[in-house]
Chains A and B, each alone.
Chain A
């Protein structure tokens, strides 16, 4: 059977109304080796098929042609065209051909990383990421590609709008997700936040990466843990324990690494810290963490001063200097002033070089409280829904009924009596 020409294929695309069928036939209309050549070529009249096809109406077809062109590296589409595509593609159709969307994203990432002006391909990716998933809290395979692209090109701000919405949904219909997608997304997200000095968010992202379910720890998780440790030292001065469900060997690995000893010595033992940095500087540099280490070191005196505020009411600059091991009074004064300016401590310096610490005034506005309350209520409602969903899911019910004998709880009617009866009635 001779392979159909592109004209035939384009007609099929324009006439199709069942997209998964179309996708199937596009995948199988010709042997592998010539299919891409056909799809990437021009129409018989020399026209570019992309000008014939409408992006919104024929998303599946356009995606196949784009993929073929990227693969054969002929007739590469312009960025302007790609941007229009990303803004206008039809979401349900794209989901049918999700692997091609991911492929497109990969290519956009490559473009972004190989040009001097990555802004435009990144914007394309941003459109893709924000339009493709049903809600912004869904994770898709495009997410890690986009964020990694932003991080490698140094355009962290672009990623912010996506990163600010936490991922809580996973749906495998949106393309084949691999555990790496989740790890890379949160790792790269953490890097972006850390680069923007948004420590709290960075901490959360690294922590998610570290504590992701793992039978064996992945290398990226250990890298994330190293960065998490440093970020915590910078933002709070101590490390916090990772969640209990974190893989144990990760915790062990970190504790025995130079990062563990660095965290242990932080912030008092300035001498030890410097020694660690000297002896393991190459390792930190190799991990790409020298910048974070330096920032942590730089902030160590601030941490110590902050700690002093809870112990002392007044203290002379010289004594502060003694405590943080800075011998130059002027340097201490500059540091304290900077901290006061940045609202890190609440203090005044009097003429005789005495620093008087005071408590930061507590500030809670009614609107703030109301907002927090509303958030809490939303969460409660969300969990009620989730709880119900799990309660009626097949897996849960099979497990619950299987273990009923050993369970020995009260009969089911009693458990589900009360508020939940309504839900069961609906089911019936």
Chain B
């Protein structure tokens, strides 16, 4: 199939493991773990809490307790041991009580579900076998789906993926393909496997097209006009989910601008259906979308796509400070922006999907803010910029210099007097210089192409030598010593 299953197993573990920042939570960086975990259900809640255990020793104890509460609601009997193991590794270093004391294993639950799982698995596999031998396509599909769901619920991603991808062979309608894609996307998002998401979004998209074409073809005699409307309704049901998945994929791969555009396009919360809570909280979408937008979109785009976007503002309502953030940015109160980013850094960093990107995003937002701030000035004291951003002059100079070198700011630093001056562009002479230069380049290119054409016409083409040596350079001697 399309996915290299072995690699995916540890994907979350490895990518997350590289640079796990240690997060501080205090009065200046508030973070309410209970409120946070209550927005999620099922597996993602456990995953998120485990992530917190790993990166934030301070919160490891409550995180473990909450995680165990969630675990006992699931049927994944191995999960407890895995988490307790992860916690214990942490606990040794941070001198915390061992897992067994904080949240002991519920043996009754363990035994009950171990046997239930086994029974269920046997039942489903027998079903699948029967259906396969009877060759009833629809039943085979459903059996694979049920098995996939089952493996997912006991935390066997590989097994789940295997069955989900097998659904494909017994799909009879486009609707089935869409269902399959959605199930796989859910799995991929849980795994944090961003690189494969786009494949399935694309497949689902094609299937949706086929489905709506088939629908409109069969209903052509019906009153014209209802067709497209119905079609778009059909699509809208899935579109939000697909958009969300690809937004996450772009975010995961660092394409912040594409991610921002997709996040801002999302439909109302209810269209995400059961994914809310199961995969993500609406507040997360608000934060991720806003941060990506601030880091990559222009001011006018932010205004039209974010501030004036009614459906996205619903997502923002879940985390009221996000609106404050955007408004401060739009009002050019950059030190407020930076304060807010800093204050909520804990909330941002613990997120399982965009936590890794917060540093990049913050840096991007900072440099954008600097560029925006300098725009109206022809010269400005670095000191003044420093006060506006709450940095030291040294910091400002470093940032500004790197921005100039990256071509973001058209200006130069007067390092002695600590002044940033905009470049005075002499449009006329610049134009002349450019015209002369491109004329020269063009002539050189023409000349070379002409020679090349002639060479080809005369068949003077380097060919593989038949039996003698290739072109030898004239005797090599050293001429370039000064």
Q: A residues touching B (Cβ–Cβ < 8 Å)?
A: 148, 151-152, 154, 156, 166-172, 177-184, 187-188, 191, 194-195, 204, 207-208, 211-221, 223, 243, 245, 247, 287-292, 294-295, 307, 310-316, 319, 354, 357, 359, 362, 364, 368-369, 372, 375-376, 379, 383, 386
Contacts and interface: CB of A to CB of B under 8 A. Distances in A.
A166 B451 contact: yes
Given A213-B456, A291-B480, A311 B432 contact: no
Contact of A216 (B413, B463, B476, B477): B463
Contacts of B414: 312-314
Contact of A220 (B429, B473, B478): B473
A291 B455 contact: no
A116 B2 CA distance: 71
B451 A314 contact: no
A319 B416 CA distance: 10
B97 to A, nearest CB: 49
A319 B415 contact: yes
Contact of A151 (B416, B454, B479): B479
Nearest to A292: B480
Contacts of A219: 470-473
Given A221-B462, A312-B413, A290 B478 contact: yes
Contact of A313 (B421, B455, B462, B471): B421
A216 B462 contact: yes
A422 to B, nearest CB: 24
A172 B458 CA distance: 7
Interface of B: 401, 404-405, 412-417, 419, 421, 424, 426, 429-430, 432-433, 436, 439, 443-448, 450-452, 454-458, 460-464, 470-482
21 contacts: A152-B475, A156-B479, A166-B447, A170-B455, A212-B455, A212-B460, A213-B456, A213-B460, A215-B463, A215-B464, A218-B471, A219-B470, A219-B472, A289-B480, A290-B480, A311-B413, A315-B416, A359-B424, A362-B426, A362-B430, A375-B443
A319 to B, nearest CB: 6
Nearest to B458: A170
Contacts of A359: 424
Contact of B454 (A168, A207, A247): A168
Contacts of B472: 219-220
B479 A243 contact: no
A313 B480 contact: no
Contacts of A168: 447, 450-451, 454
A71 to B, nearest CB: 22
B443 A170 contact: no
Contacts of B462: 179, 183, 212-218, 221, 247
Given A207-B448, A291-B478, A368-B436, 10 more contacts: A179-B463, A184-B473, A216-B462, A218-B470, A221-B462, A289-B480, A290-B481, A311-B412, A313-B421, A375-B439
Contacts of A386: 450
A314 B416 contact: yes
A291 B416 contact: no
Contacts of A314: 414-417
Given A184-B474, A217-B462, A291-B482, A167 B443 contact: no
A14 B450 CA distance: 42
B472 to A, nearest CB: 7
Contacts of A379: 443, 446
A372 B460 contact: no
A307 B443 CA distance: 28
A295 B405 CA distance: 25
Closest 7 CB pairs of A and B: A291-B480, A362-B429, A214-B462, A170-B454, A313-B414, A288-B476, A148-B474
Contacts of A179: 455, 460-463, 471
A291 B479 contact: yes
B431 to A, nearest CB: 10
A212 B452 CA distance: 7
Contact of B461 (A172, A187, A214, A243): A214
B480 to A, nearest CB: 3
B417 A288 contact: no
A112 B389 CA distance: 72
Nearest to A188: B474
Contact of A184 (B421, B433, B471, B476): B471
A288 B477 contact: yes
**Most chain A CB within a 10 A radius of its CB, from B404, B421, B463:** B463
A194 B480 contact: yes
A195 B416 contact: no
B355 to A, nearest CB: 32
Nearest to A148: B474
B98 to A, nearest CB: 48
Contacts of B474: 148, 151-152, 184, 187-188, 191
Given A311-B405, A362-B429, A364-B429, A187 B473 contact: yes
A307 B404 CA distance: 11
B448 A182 contact: no
A135 to B, nearest CB: 13
Contacts of B429: 362, 364
Given A184-B474, A214-B462, A220-B471, A243 B448 contact: yes
Contact of B412 (A184, A188, A310, A369): A310
Nearest to A156: B479
B460 A170 contact: yes
A169 to B, nearest CB: 6
A247 B464 CA distance: 13
Contact of B452 (A211, A223, A289, A295): A211
A183 B479 contact: no
Contacts of A364: 429, 432-433, 436
A115 B433 CA distance: 48
A372 B479 contact: no
Nearest to A375: B443
A376 B479 contact: no
A191 B478 CA distance: 10
Contacts of B457: 170
A316 B405 CA distance: 19
Interface hub of B414, B448, B471 (most chain A Cβ within 10 A):
B471
B259 to A, nearest CB: 30
Nearest to A195: B479
Centre residue among B419, B448, B482 by max chain A CB count within 10 A: B448
A116 to B, nearest CB: 16
Q: For A179, A289, A376, which residue has the most chain B Cβ atoms within 10 angstroms?
A: A179
Nearest to B410: A310
A253 B412 CA distance: 39
Contacts of A311: 401, 404-405, 412-413
Contacts of A171: 458
Contacts of A204: 444, 448
Contacts of A291: 478-482
Contacts of B447: 166, 168
Given A148-B474, A291-B480, A312 B415 contact: yes
Nearest to A196: B479
Contacts of B448: 204, 207-208, 211, 243
Nearest to B448: A208
Contacts of B415: 312-316, 319
Contacts of A307: 405
A87 to B, nearest CB: 26
B461 A215 contact: yes
Contacts of B430: 362
Nearest to A393: B457
B446 A383 contact: yes
A376 B439 contact: yes
Which of B426, B429, B455 is packed against the most chain A CB atoms within 10 Å? Answer: B455
B455 A182 contact: yes
A156 B479 CA distance: 10
A170 B475 CA distance: 26
A180 B443 CA distance: 25
B433 A362 contact: yes
